[in-house]
Amino acid sequence: MAYFAISHWETDDWTNEMEALARDKYVPLVKAVGALRVSMVRVADRSFMVVTEYADAATAEAAQAKIAEIRSQAAEELPMKMTAVMSGEVFAAG
């Protein structure tokens, strides 16, 4: 059963360069550790969510050490901080 991780981030600034870095660097990094899909969704002027889909909980769990490193790298490289994270297994979908 599919498994999703959702993290919420706040940033001090929003630029086209940040969007490009997210698209060109961070999405591929997350996919390289086992994610099927990564969507970065802007939810406010300086706020976004990262929605990551894995094939199953075991794949997501195996990726967590690398995901923590990627999150730390992003927070150091960009003017942002993670404010919340949640994850869970899909029980219904359409």
Nearest to 36 by CA among 66, 65, 58, 56: 56
Give the three-state DSSP class for 94. Answer: coil
Q: What is the pLDDT of residue 89?
A: 97
pTM above 0.75, yes or no: yes
Domains in the chain (CATH in brackets) are 3-88 (3.30.70.100)
pLDDT for residue 79: 93
Q: How far is CA 72 from CA 1, 2, 55, 69, in A?
A: 28, 25, 24, 5
Measured from the Cβ of residue 30, the count of other Cβ atoms closer than 10 Å reads: 22
Q: Which residues contact 50 (CB under 8 A, 6 or more apart)?
A: 5, 6, 7, 9, 30, 38, 39, 40, 41
Please give the pLDDT value at position 85. 96
